[in-house]
Structure formats: structure tokens, C-alpha cells
Amino acid sequence: MNKQRRENNLSVSFLALISTLIFTSPSIAENNVQMENGGKPERLIVMAVEYPGVVISRNENVRMDVIFKNKGQSDETVHVRIAQKPRGWKVRIKTFLYDVTAIAVPSNEAKTLTFEAIPGKNIKPGNYEFRVEAETPDGYFKASQNIVVDIKEEASSDGKGVKIVTSYPVLQGPSDGTFEFSLDVVSKLEKDAVFDLFAQGPKGWVINFKPAYEKKYISSIRLKTNQTTTVAVEAKPPPMSKAGKYPFSIRVSSDDAETEAKLTVILTGTYQLEVGTSTGLLSLDAGQGKPANMSIYVKNTGSAVNNNIKFMSLKPENWKVVFSPNTIPTIQPGELKQVEVTITPYDEALVGDYSISARVEGEQAAKTMEFRVTVKASSTWGWIGIGIIVMVIFGLTVLFRKFGRR
């Protein structure tokens, strides 16, 4: 019995081993295929929303990017829809011109759509959840992303004898922008008073107070009994500020009253590119049908990362312009990359000057550089011409000597 049991155990173990090999072999084969293709899978799409959670004030609209990145080898079409939205909101997925239900995402590229949510008039403060779903036509790729919108009451600060009210305590924009908040300052004192204005913000920021719809700067305001006046707060970030949230506080005070309000600026960064040569020269010489080389640099002069840098050229017909490398995956702020440009004029190009335009395009910025190429005649024809002249002189000399004797 023990012998038979041992034989049965061996049989079961053998069958389990065979089953394991059978079911794992496709994965091994798939891994081998991926290794042959540089580790890139046949199909892989990533979906993400720019801000899965946001805080807004009443009657403020929500707009953010929905990003699709194709990390696979195959071009894909992705269907997009709003799977969940709260009652009373108008929601859509769109581009600059159209509402969108599907988007084409080529291999190794990223595409962006815009999620927009507009609250109705009766929407109250609280949390509202949305869900965006995406799927390929064959169902191979499925993804969903939740977006939570938190609507806050109007930001107000009740202090002793004075109050600050603002409908938009959070502003968002590029790092090279100027942000202006509108504050209502309400005096609750039973007498006229002068209120001093103070601001405390991140290091390097320039913050000033202005009367509503005026350009002059102020540092105090005079309010009568129970009077309300509007004050603008202008905030400007320092150059090359990084993307992120920057909170600061505003204080209004007099001898008998004081209050404070919190404001926030969200910087999205700046996208700028600089293109040039190390010597500053934008010209070179080339022969007919012969390549000439030029080195250029691409520098990220913005404060945000610039991705997927591509190169294009505008050239005369039958000319060749080659960039090496032909793409740059990413450039960090302040980083510089060198690119070699090889220009080959047409074999039958006429001698003279020609204009070449090189365009550098990133996801959020582009730059064009123009330079001159001088095509010179081949030295071979010069030597041929000299040879012809020598032969003519030699022939004339022989003729003069021959007929001179006569």
C-alpha cells in the first residue's frame, strides 16, 4: 500500500510539473518577444488625470487634462466617456474645438484631452465625485479615474471689527504670470477708521495692494462706519519659479480691529526653449552633393520639464537635412542638449547662398532657427579648367613654332 501511495504521489507531482510548464511557457515566450523588442510590450496604454482632487469656490468651473500615453508598439484608438457625474453638473470631455468620444494614440506618443465640469446654480458646498472611463474597441485596455471636486464656502475671515471676503481664494496659472485677487474689506466698527494692509508670502514674491480697477499701489484704506470696499491683491512670482502651490496670508488691521485671510497661487511652470550655436555663427559652406556638419544646442529656459522634443527642417528641394539625435525624450529646466545637424546640398545645386530653417518642437514650446548655407563649386572642375587652359596654351605654342619656321 505504501509503495502504491508513493507511486501515486510521484504521478501527481509529475502531472503538476507538466501543467506548470505548459501554462508558463506562453509567458516565457511573451517575455522573449518583449526582450527582442527592447523590453517594450506589444500593447500598453496609461491614462491619468492632471488633478484627481481639487478645491474650488462656488460657481467656479473645473478644467484639467486627461493624459493618454501609449507605451506599446501598436497604435491605438481609445474610447472615452464620463461614467459618473453628480446631478446638477454639466460635464464633458473635449478638445479646443470639439466634444470627444474617442482619441487616436500613436505608439510611443502622448495625447491630451480636457475634462470640464461646470456646476449648476443650485450646487452647494461639499464633495462631488466624477469618474472617467477609457477602453479600446476590442476591450484589451480598460481604465478608469475618479476626480473629486471639493466646493468650499466663500473664504471669509471674521475678526474683531473687520471682515475679509473673497470668492476666489485660489488662482492658477503659469510661473511667469501675475495673479490678482479681489478682496472685499468690511468694516464693522461704529466709527471711521484707517486700516493698514499687510501681506506675507513665499520668498521672492512681490505682493502689492491696489484699489479696485486702478493701477496705483496702496498700503492702507479709510473706511466709514459699516462700509465695504474692494481691494485688489497683486502677486507676482520670482523668475523661474517651479510648479507647485504657494500659500500666503493677507492681514488688515487698525487700532481697534484686525483680521486675516489665506490665499493660494498654483503655478503650472513655464515652457520655453532656446536654440543656437556655441559660436553664435549661423552659416556654413558646403559642396554640391557633399554633406556639411553643424552643431546646435537646445536649452530648456523654462521652469517646467519639456518632453518629447522633435526636429523638423524647411529646406530647398532635393536637399537632405539630418538631425542626430532626431528626438530628445526630456529636458529638465536649465538643461542643455547638443544636436548634430548634417546638411547635404543637391548634386546639381547652383553655386550661391541658400536658407535653411530648423524647427524644434516640444510638448508645450517651440523654437525656429534659420541659417545660411553657401554652396561652392567643386574643386575638381577648377582643376579641369586649369588643365584645359594649359592644353590650349601648349597647342598654340606648338602651332606658332611650326608655322613660324615657314
Domain boundaries, the chain: 45-152, 155-267, 273-378
Q: Could you read off the pLDDT of 337-352 as tens digits, one per residue? A: 999 999 999 988 888 8
Cell of 286: 558646403
CA proximity to 319, closest of 281, 292, 283: 292
d(CA 208, CA 320): 55
Residue 215 confidence (pLDDT): 87
Q: In terms of CATH, what superfamily is 273-378? A: Immunoglobulins (2.60.40.10)
Q: Which amino acid is at 162?
A: V
Query: What values do phi and psi take at 378, rounded to 5?
Result: -70, 140
Third-level CATH fold of 155-267: Immunoglobulin-like (2.60.40)
Residue 386 confidence (pLDDT): 73
Q: Which amino acid is at 308?
A: N
Q: Where are the beta strands (DSSP E) in 190-305?
A: 193-200, 206-211, 220-223, 228-236, 244-253, 258-267, 273-276, 283-287, 292-300
**Intrachain domains 45-152 and 155-267 with the same fold:** yes
**CATH number listed for the domain at residues 45-152:** 2.60.40.10
Please list the rounded mean pLDDT of every run of 10 residues in the chain (406 residues).
Answer: 46 42 37 50 91 84 92 94 94 91 94 93 90 95 93 66 90 90 91 94 94 91 92 92 91 91 90 88 88 91 86 91 92 90 90 90 87 79 69 74 64
Q: Where are the beta strands (DSSP E) in 268-351?
A: 273-276, 283-287, 292-300, 306-314, 320-324, 327-331, 336-344
Residue 56 confidence (pLDDT): 85
Residue 306 confidence (pLDDT): 86
Give the other-Cβ count within 10 Å of 365's Cβ: 18
d(CA 115, CA 85): 12
Q: What is the torsional sign of CA 269, 270, 275, 277?
A: negative
